Amino acid sequence: MKDFNYWDKLHKNEELEEFSNDRTGLLWLKTKSISRKELIAEFIKINNITLKETILAKQFVELFGILSDDVIKSNLILDNFIKSENKKQFVALNTAQLVSELYKLKNFTWGGDYQNSLDKYLVSRYVKVQNPSFENLVSKFETEISAAVQGYVLNSWYNHWSSILIEHIFKSHKEVLPTVGQIKSVDFFINDVPFDLKVTYLPAEFIKTKRKEKGLPVELTYLKKKAFEAKIPFDKTAKQADIFYEIVEKMKDRNDDFCSEVLKTLKEQKLTFLQEVQSDPKILATWLYENQGEMRFGSENRLFLVLVDTDDFTNSWKLKRNIDLLKPAILTYLDKVKDKNTEDLKIEFTFKGKMFEAITDIIFVVK
């Protein structure tokens, strides 16, 4: 029987496929969305519902049981309540001020070679070392450690608040039903389909994969070869990202026909890959699902917002605050979303040898 525990178990195990195809599953998610003390109190007051339970977790179970008696009607009642609550939250955000604050970040540099965990990076690099030296550790605070911590905090702040800005644009559209309370793996509903919003760029590893498919060398290998031909020196002992940056900047500065052609070739190749995935978004969406980090794996429905600055792909992070590009691209997509067939948005992907299915789409914001 598909009771409260059935949906609760699916959600806890992150097995979310069934929620998209069952209105009772949708009702469970929406009820969870309002399972906050003040929200439930307001909801039952407006709808003349009496709950026996006083503990929040038990109220969630009891309320879902009551609403399950008429799933279709209850979905509509919850939709109206959620929209009403969202209007209250919507007014509270000063988008102009937020955008202004986001523009104060001039450089997007993490300050370390860690992926998602600063604490693991610091422990492995400075704590669990072969030759412990207190003086050596202290000497790192004003240089390496300070830069790593500052970069992590600044970039995390930027990512968090730019995500709030982007979600705010989505929530302003009539086709979007937001979650007023946080739900793991669900940011909002579109056409009664739950979606998790993911903001990303055209991944460097994806570009690397496409180059390999087409028999092209790795970008850095190509650049090193061309730098040698142009007699442009560079620090061969530096990190790959720094070597890439040095060669590109030196080629820009030299600005002769040879260097201009090298940079033009790299740009045109990337644009070809971009045009390919714009024509068939499932190519990139499938790659993004299959190449996500194991620690953050999820098979939930995802709506990807892919940001691309075609003039300088490394500056695509700046588009997360470019409301003049973001807003029309997002709202135009949502204006037409009713015309999309959910079946056409389904993909199958494999992860660690297991097959998954998800509903997904991509909105491209291209400068």
Give the number of other Cβ atoms within 10 Å of residue 11's Cβ. 20
pLDDT for the residue 115: 54
pLDDT-derived band at 21 (thresholds 50, 70, 90) equals confident
Q: How far is CA 53 from CA 59, 61, 63, 66, 156, in A?
A: 5, 9, 9, 12, 39
Average pLDDT taken over every residue of the chain: 91
Give the number of other Cβ atoms within 10 Å of residue 336's Cβ. 10
Distance CA 66, CA 53 (A): 12
What are the domain boundaries of the chain? 1-92, 105-157
- Find how far residue 321's CA is from the centre of its chain: 14
Distance CA 247, CA 225 (A): 11
pLDDT digit string (tens) for 183-214? Answer: 889 999 999 999 999 999 999 999 999 999 99
Residue 29: exposure state from Cβ atoms within 10 A (0-12, 13-18, ≥19): buried
Give the number of other Cβ atoms within 10 Å of residue 262's Cβ. 20
pLDDT for the residue 117: 72
pLDDT digit string (tens) for 90-133? Answer: 777 889 999 999 999 998 887 666 556 777 778 888 888 778 88
Distance CA 229, CA 94 (A): 53
